[in-house]
Structure 1
Amino acid sequence: MTEKSATKLPPISSKRFAILGIMLLCLVLQIINTLPGINLNDLGILPRQLSGLSGIFFAPFLHGGWAHLFSNLVPFAILAWLVCQYSVKRFWLVFVSTALLGGLLVWIFGRSNIHVGLSGVIYGLWGYLICYGIMHRSFKAILISIAVVILYSGLIWGVFPQRIHISFESHLFGAISGAFIGYLFAKRDKQHLR
């Protein structure tokens, strides 16, 4: 690889790298998961079992099937892009924090099933954007928050038990985690403006 071509690689701080990288990882893991004799979903969150605690790190990238994966990719891309409007660093902090905190809450309080999927993080991004906009009250934050409410107001129903095979706990605790992180960031950012 020449020095000139090496400089064209996207930096880890780019929006494209952040969003597409996560989506590509989910896609690759889903392909691997469809191979005979492989069930990566066993690496998901299994509440209150020590063996399921490591699932907090793996669950967001694993899916129950192609339909599950594809239903998560578009909302993830849109909400992740909206969080990236603040900064890519902010996106990574919100992504990791909601995945870890939401995942831990699922491990403590969730039903005794394996929980997988990016939807917990999607709800975390959703909760973050709405709470941050309400708390920060800058024009940009409010505008993004309104866009999220208009585009994804239907997500509110996902935090309630509906179908037995859908982890409403991931949705609920993801949204709570995201809202909490949005509150903390808004409070911190308002103090920096003073």
Structure 2
Amino acid sequence: MANQKSSLSIPPLASKRFTIIGIILLCALLQVINSLPGINLNGLGIFPRNLNGLSGIFFAPFLHGGWAHLISNLIPFAVLGWLVCQYSVKRFWLVFIFTAIVGGLLVWLFGRSNIHVGLSGVLYGLWGFLICYGIMHRSFKAIAISIVVVFLYSGLIWGVLPQRPHVSFESHFFGALAGIIIGYLLAKKDRKNEAYKL
């Protein structure tokens, strides 16, 4: 009975499945709404160097240019998000929020004067975090996860380069940069805490 009570007391945000599936369902719901006649939620995306477009930092990750755009992001997001959750769900949210805000702000400051939307900026943030954290932390678990990420998604490196005019390579580049930054900071903090415990 005690075990049952304990499992029921876990808040929803502490569930890996709730976290990943919840974000995916939110993106899908917004895409359904965005597909309705006369509705264009993408106007809420990031529009660089425009004060009205600054609020898009908070909306852009959940909005997409179409179903193909959304679907292309969902599987790698689910895989990379699940891998970050192997550290903890709290860490996932920290990386998600940091890369969304810092990456989004950099897009707003330096991106092309178009509306930027999509989960790919955060996706690249998760990717950058996992690789950088593995290199810097150097624990077996962190290295193993980073090797899996490189094996599965080494091709993402090309996404940070300008290739197609309708693709926001800025979101990819700055998302990855934000992920690398927080990966470095968290690895340094964790190594320091672990050395202190010893």
Alignment pair present for 1:54 and 2:66: no
**What corresponds to 1:155 in structure 2?**
156
Alignment pair present for 1:103 and 2:116: no
Could you tell me whether the CA contact under 8 Å between 1:124 and 1:177 is conserved in 2? yes
Using the size of structure 1 for normalisation, the TM-score is 0.95
**What corresponds to 1:186 in structure 2?**
187
Deviation at 1:12, TM superposition (A): 1.6
Q: Distance in 2 between matches of 1:30 and 1:99?
A: 19
State the Cα deviation string for residues 84-115 of structure 1 (Å, max 9, x = none). 00000000000000000000000000000000
Q: Distance in 2 between matches of 1:12 and 1:133?
A: 25
Number of aligned positions between the proteins? 189
Runs of 4+ in 1 over 6 A off after TM superposition: none
Deviation at 1:10, TM superposition (A): 6.8
State the Cα deviation string for residues 51-96 of structure 1 (Å, max 9, x = none). 0000000000000000000000000000000000000000000000
Kindly provide the amino acid, as one letter, of the partner of residue 185 in structure 2: L
**What corresponds to 1:35 in structure 2?**
36
1:77-96 residue pairs with structure 2 within 5 A? 77-96=78-97
Deviation at 1:22, TM superposition (A): 0.3
**What corresponds to 2:114 in structure 1?**
113
Alignment pair present for 1:20 and 2:17: no
Deviation at 1:126, TM superposition (A): 0.2
Kindly provide the amino acid, as one letter, of the partner of residue 38 in structure 1: I
What is the DSSP-based 3-state SS (H/G/I as helix, E as strand, rest coil) of the residue aligned with 2:76? helix
Could you tell me whether the CA contact under 8 Å between 1:10 and 1:17 is conserved in 2? no
Q: Distance in 2 between matches of 1:89 and 1:10?
A: 11
State the Cα deviation string for residues 171-191 of structure 1 (Å, max 9, x = none). 000000000000000000000
Q: Structure 1: which 5+ runs fail to align?
A: none
Cα RMSD of the aligned pairs, angstroms, is 1.3
Q: Distance in 1 between matches of 2:11 and 2:27?
A: 19
Q: Distance in 2 between matches of 1:24 and 1:97?
A: 21
Change (3 A) 1:26 1:165: same
Q: Distance in 2 between matches of 1:9 and 1:58?
A: 28
Could you tell me whether the CA contact under 8 Å between 1:126 and 1:175 is conserved in 2? yes
Change (3 A) 1:152 1:51: same
Calculate percent identity across the aligned residue pairs. 76
Q: Distance in 1 between matches of 2:10 and 2:114?
A: 40
State the Cα deviation string for residues 111-151 of structure 1 (Å, max 9, x = none). 00000000000000000000000000000000000000000
